Amino acid sequence: MDHILHIFRKDGRRHWPEILASLVLLALYAHLNVHPWQKPDYRSFLFGRLFSLKSAVTPVLLLFWSFMIVRVVQSETLVGDRQWWITKPYDWWKLLFAKLFFVVVVILLPLFFVQLYLLHGEGFSIFRNLGGILGTEFALSVVLFAPSFSLAALSKGLGQAFLGLVAIFLGAWAIYWVTDNAPSGNMSNFADTPQSIQTVLLVSAIIVATLFQFARRKIWSSRGLIMGTFSAVLLIGHFTPYGKYVERAYPLVSNPPARISLRQPNESIGGHTPFDFSDNISLLIPLKVSGVAKNSVVLVDGMTLALKTSDGTQWSRGWFNQWLQIWSEDERESLSYQMKRKDYEKLKGSTVQVQIQLALREYREADITEVVATGSPFRDPRLGLCRLGTFRTSSVGTVECLKPIRSPGLMATFDPKQAQCYVADEDYAGPELTPVHAWLGPGDNGIPDPGVSPLQEYSIYFSQSKPWVPREDSSGRSTLVRLCSGTRIRLARPAEAQRFRLKLQLDNVPFDALVAGSF
Amino acid sequence: MNEVIRTESLTKKYRSLRALDGVNLDIREGSVYALVGPNGAGKTTLIKILMNLIDASTGRASVLGMDSKRIRGQAYTQIGYVSENQEIPEWMRVSELLDYVHPFYPSWDADLENSLLKQFDLPRDKKIKAISRGMKMKLALASALAFHPKLVVLDEPFGGLDPLVRDQLIEGLLERARESTVFLSSHDLTEIESFATHVGYLESGKLSFSEELASLRNRFREIELTFTSPPQLPQSVPSSWLQMKLASNAAGFIETNFDEEKTPENIRRVFVDVQDVSSKPMNLRSIFLAMARKGGEV
């Protein structure tokens, strides 16, 4: 322990300017983030009105911490054979612990106190959220500090560390590209096992290579371990049969909780001519939906599309991500799918048979409560601290909330007939007004999110297919339904009821009518 | 006496280049061993393998009875290592460096540290980046000697230093040589001659010889022969004779295996009409020059 403290004190003396800068940045971060709804958003002179100081300080802080970790670890460079310290009686594990101790004392401990301060500032319990704060710090350590530490251990000097950073970004891009271009790779996030293996492999390689480098300083073995693991992750990303994972996770059912069928495309949606320069053509597949239970929502997670023309030309691709919610009031929806231009050119002008598969999840309301939105910020145990949103482009309304550690999974509903809030001067509540819903996915997989702030700032967006209510006087003008003070909002935890898959088919569809435009 | 350093068939390859080629070396406790050889001979490579800074391709090395591959951490409490290429933390002051390194060594001698600082004229309060190269070498040596190491390893410690600094370094070393084994590499033969007890010659990765300096000096002689008439170049001469030169009534060569009785006998066998034979001891520089011209093998 003496040597650990001795090395730590030396690093403290050496890196006091960086430590000071880190503390100043953290203090600035705390100042800008405490009571975020009570102060104006400062604008930086340097960037004009493009970036706010508040949004810039977090990435600057994270980058600076990475830089400081690289500097501190490289005080005793582990690469090379000319360093003074390597022929001194350092025990490798004491050196490692001294550097880890520096990260804990100089970064994590001040951050911990700032997080407590921010929580307390918004009136949230400190003790109830201690575990969550430690969880976010742990996650931040795994996601940012461990790779920074590893980068420092496997490079000599800031120049090499920067090149390493570039290599990391290129590697991450390569993994993304290879996975996304694999068959059905667009839905790789539904292949839990390969994703877990990839994550475990990468994290383990980072930790083992760092430990090995501290213990033995065999730089090419350590770098080789990282490169080998990266190659393995790349191969897993490319060869995983994502489609099979999706089909296994979403079984075909005979009695689905929603009735969904394909319908002939409407010229007002499709029938566009794509731009000449675009490589990807966007198709819109129209659906007719019904039968979703009142206390349920059905999510479309993914879709396959196969097209067949009368002359035998066929086109199909694997699973493609979707983000469609189907509520009980919904009747007509559409799904988006992308096609390469060369495929579009082969099919345009033809009549096709459309075959699709849908991967769906049904969620039902659980633990139902109610909250009344008020003009001033209001509290709710599930939502945290909330206020009515000021986001004017929203069709119906938003509720902006702050919640410690993690935003909740949520099914929220309000009845516009009871809300009586309209933007127009003359209120009108037509009989066709139906409940307005909001959906927040249950992201609780037990792993805390990495982050600097202990408060999750999230918005509940209420949307409805018919937020505009026509006037009775046939003036052609409409009234916008809005969420406002006094609106009762029904809140529920989304409980997953089942996953299922549907196969649908529709003949004699004019292909051009499916074309929505281009990207 | 025990062997402090031992290598067996030590080889280091960098792709096609053999930096070390089957080096066998024994260094006894208490000796001051100088490893000499031209630049690029493999001296630094050998030292780095001994200090476990790089791996050998084949062969074995042991230092203080330990496999050199296991030298790390606490093993360095017995070894003082100084190299001309070391990257000393220049942001520290002289005293800060010594204060920092002190707790790592249980046997650190504060009195010795003070006396070394005084002996080397090291300014305690100066930043290391502000002192000269010679001062840095003296500081590195002070930090390597102040804990009474069993073995002192110096890689080219005198390179580029002025004579005064060199003398100070050698003086400091000699004072400690009584309690430590010293192993150093250098191509500065004049300095080595004044204090080394043993010497090894490394060229192109091969150790040509390794022996006591006194024995080496006894072995090498510059021989001068006088004749009454111009001598004839003999058809064959012993392999231990180097650089044979003939003049009008004289001849000369370097005997690499001098013996008070046998060498004159051999000369008279080769040069029957030789009138006078004289021999002169050689300094280390002359010996190595002669060997370098021959290609190292003696």
Q: Which of A38-52, A238-252, A298-312 has the lowest mean pLDDT?
A: A38-52
Cα separation, B104 vs B108, whole angstroms: 8
Are the C-beta atoms of residues B20 and B11 closer than 8 Å to each other? yes
Summary mean pLDDT of chain B = 89
Cα separation, B179 vs B94, whole angstroms: 25
* Å between A379 CA and nearest CA of chain B: 54
Tell me if A84 and B140 make a contact (CB, 8 A cut-off).
yes
pLDDT digits (tens, 9 = 90+) for A137-162: 999 999 999 999 999 999 999 999 99
Pairing of strands A478-480, B32-36: unpaired
Could you tell me the CA-to-CA distances from A130 to A23, A32, A58, A133 in Å, in that order?
Answer: 22, 22, 21, 5
Could you tell me the CA-to-CA distances from A40 to A31, A32, A36, A54, A458 in Å, in that order?
Answer: 12, 9, 8, 10, 19
Cα separation, A74 vs A85, whole angstroms: 11
Cα separation, A415 vs A483, whole angstroms: 10
**Cα B276–Cα B278–Cα B282 angle in degrees, nearest 5:** 160
* Å between B94 CA and nearest CA of chain A: 14
Tell me if A88 and B104 make a contact (CB, 8 A cut-off).
yes
What pLDDT score does A427 carry?
47
Q: Exposed/middle/buried for A113, CB within 10 Å: 0-12, 13-18, 19+?
A: exposed
Cα distance between the two ends of chain A: 60
Summary mean pLDDT of chain A = 86
Cα separation, A224 vs A217, whole angstroms: 13
Provide the CB-side half-sphere exposure for B165 (13 A, CA).
Answer: 16
**Structural domains of chain A sorted by starting position, each given as residue range(s) with its CATH number in brackets:** 1-153 (no CATH), 156-249 (no CATH), 259-362+499-518 (2.60.40), 374-486 (no CATH)
More confident residue, A267 or A356: A356
Query: To the nearest 5 percent, what fractions of chain A are helix, strand and coil?
Result: 40, 30, 30
Q: For A346-371, what is the mean pLDDT?
A: 93
Are the C-beta atoms of residues A518 and A280 closer than 8 Å to each other? yes
pLDDT digits (tens, 9 = 90+) for A183-215: 888 888 888 889 999 999 999 999 999 999 999
Could you tell me the CA-to-CA distances from B99 to A146, B90, B128, B147 in Å, in that order?
Answer: 31, 14, 14, 13
What pLDDT score does A519 carry?
40
pLDDT digits (tens, 9 = 90+) for A71-90: 999 999 999 988 999 999 99
Residue B245: strand pairing partners? B252
What pLDDT score does A430 carry?
46
Tell me if A3 and B89 make a contact (CB, 8 A cut-off).
no
- Which of A345, A338, A347, A285 lies closest to A519 in space, CA to CA? A338
pLDDT band at A474 (very low <50, low <70, confident <90, very high): low
CB pairs under 8 A between A and B: 48
Q: Does residue A446 register a pLDDT over 70?
A: no
> Which parts of A250-378 fold into alpha helices (H)?
341-347
- Residues of B in CB contact (< 8 Å) with A are 48, 51, 53-54, 72-77, 79, 81, 83, 85-89, 91, 96, 100-101, 103-105, 140
What pLDDT score does A425 carry?
44
Cα separation, A371 vs A386, whole angstroms: 11
What pLDDT score does B154 carry?
93
Long-range contacts of range B164-168, CB-CB < 8 Å, 24 or more positions apart? B165/B134, B165/B135, B165/B137, B165/B138, B166/B191, B168/B119, B168/B120, B168/B121, B168/B138
**Structural domains of chain B sorted by starting position, each given as residue range(s) with its CATH number in brackets:** 3-211 (3.40.50.300), 221-281 (no CATH)
Determine the residue type at A35.
H
* Å between A103 CA and nearest CA of chain B: 21
Residue B127: strand pairing partners? B93
Q: Which residues contact residue A161 at a Cβ distance below 8 angstroms, ignoring those fewer than 6 apart?
A: A70, A74, A151, A152, A155
pLDDT band at A435 (very low <50, low <70, confident <90, very high): confident
What pLDDT score does B203 carry?
87
Q: How far is CA A279 from the centre of its chain?
A: 26
Q: Does residue A217 register a pLDDT over 50?
A: yes
Tell me if A89 and B100 make a contact (CB, 8 A cut-off).
no
Count of residues making up chain A: 519
More confident residue, A41 or B23: B23
Q: For A464-492, what is the mean pLDDT?
A: 66
More confident residue, B295 or B197: B197
Are the C-beta atoms of residues A187 and A320 closer than 8 Å to each other? yes
Cα separation, B210 vs B216, whole angstroms: 9
pLDDT digits (tens, 9 = 90+) for B241-255: 888 888 888 999 999
Pairing of strands A384-388, B3-14: unpaired
Residues of A in contact with B53 (CB under 8 A): 81, 86-87
pLDDT digits (tens, 9 = 90+) for B177-209: 778 999 999 877 877 888 899 999 898 899 988
What pLDDT score does B271 carry?
86
Give the distance between the most distant pair of CA atoms in chain A: 91
* Å between B277 CA and nearest CA of chain A: 52
User: Structure tokens of A30?
Assistant: 């705390």
Residues of A in contact with B101 (CB under 8 A): 88
Q: Does residue B160 register a pLDDT over 50?
A: yes
Other CB atoms within 10 A of residue A468 CB: 12
Tell me if A6 and B48 make a contact (CB, 8 A cut-off).
no
Cα separation, A218 vs A191, whole angstroms: 35
Residue A458: strand pairing partners? A401
What pLDDT score does A127 carry?
92
| Helix, strand or coil, per DSSP, at residue A434 | coil
Of B74, B87, B101, the CB nearest to A83: B87
More confident residue, A462 or A272: A462
* Å between B195 CA and nearest CA of chain A: 25
pLDDT band at B151 (very low <50, low <70, confident <90, very high): very high
Element (H, E) at B176: helix B163-177
> Which parts of A298-415 fold into alpha helices (H)?
341-347
pTM (2 d.p.): 0.86
Q: Which residues contact residue B178 at a Cβ distance below 8 angstroms, ignoring those fewer than 6 apart?
A: none
Search chain A and give the residue with CA nearest B101.
Answer: A88
pLDDT digits (tens, 9 = 90+) for A290-309: 999 999 999 999 999 999 99
Q: Does residue A463 register a pLDDT over 80?
A: no
Element (H, E) at A334: strand A332-340
pLDDT band at A252 (very low <50, low <70, confident <90, very high): very high
- Which of B195, B192, B210 lies closest to B296 in space, CA to CA? B210
Residue B28: strand pairing partners? B3
According to DSSP, residue A446 is labeled: S
Of B74, B85, B103, the CB nearest to A82: B85
Q: Does residue A392 register a pLDDT over 80?
A: no
Instruction: Using CA atoms of B258, B261, B267, B268 in order, give the dihedral in degrees to the nearest 10.
Output: 180
Are the C-beta atoms of residues A125 and A138 closer than 8 Å to each other? no
What is the phi/psi pair of residue B138, to 5°? -65, -40
**Residue entry with tokens 């009136």:** A123
Q: Does residue A448 register a pLDDT over 80?
A: no
Query: To the nearest 5 percent, what fractions of chain B are helix, strand and coil?
Result: 35, 30, 35
Query: DSSP characters for B113-158?
Result: HHHHHHHTT--TTSBGGGS-HHHHHHHHHHHHHTT--SEEEEESTT
